[in-house]
Amino acid sequence: MINTHPHSDHIGGLIHILSHFSVSHLVTTGFFPKEKGFRQLMAAAHARGVDHLIWRRGDGLRGEGFTMDVLYPGIAMSQEDLNDTSLVLKLKYGDVSFLFTGDIESDVEEKLVLSGLSLQSDVLKVPHHGSLSSSSLPFLYAVRPRLAILSCASGVKNLPNQEALERYGKLGITMLGTYRYGLIEVRSNGKEITWKTYEDYRP
């Protein structure tokens, strides 16, 4: 189970998952703030004997036809903004790739673009719920996703931001948002991607 960063909206149901599913490892970044929800998550994992892993760039998972690589953060990272401590993960299964971005802002997007790492992915988890301060055009040009998934509840002030959404439109990227379509399920067989929406499960 992976916690991209310690904000409460990215901890959400993780404690429930720990209580109702068999979890072998909890993955976090190496930054441990005093956020109440994060402390509760760590305590719940410890109480259930779940191993804790700290991931940084270069870490990840390997399996049959499957890789997950940590692209960010490295050993040094800014701690001024918890959003910018988010784990950025690239998952590749067969010929299909997914990029998970947490809540990174445009300054981290720029670092990733300039890093020389391969960002191109078929599916992009939209950074920071479609905020104005993320989804910069250089970043979107580097990723060039076929499909973008935006996680955001309806009625949240300034989220998603219309200007940010227009950047996706300019590049012809298909966008699906939970605020409009409810739960979004994306599947892949390693060659193609398909998706299904469940409007009854709307945040």
14 with 86, same domain? Answer: no
Assign 166 to helix, strand or coil.
helix
Predicted TM-score (pTM) of this structure: 0.94
Query: In the structure encoding, which two tokens stand for residue 107, read together?
Result: 């300054």
Q: Is the same domain home to 119 and 40?
A: no
Helix (H, G, I), strand (E, B) or coil at 84: helix
Residue 157 maps to a domain: yes
Is the pLDDT assigned to residue 77 strictly greater than 70? no
Output the six-digit token pair for 140.
């979107």
Same domain assignment for residues 101 and 188: yes
The length of the chain is 203
Q: What is the pLDDT of residue 79?
A: 64
Domain residue limits at 99: 57-198
> Are 114 and 61 in a shared domain?
yes
pLDDT in the model for residue 83: 87
- Residue 4 in any domain: the answer is yes
105 and 152 assigned to the same domain: yes
List Cα–Cα distances, 92 to 113, 123, 141, in angstroms.
19, 10, 19
Task: Specify whether 12 is located in the same domain as 72.
Answer: no
- pLDDT at res. 76: 63
Percent residues over pLDDT 70 in the chain: 98
3 and 93 share one domain:
no
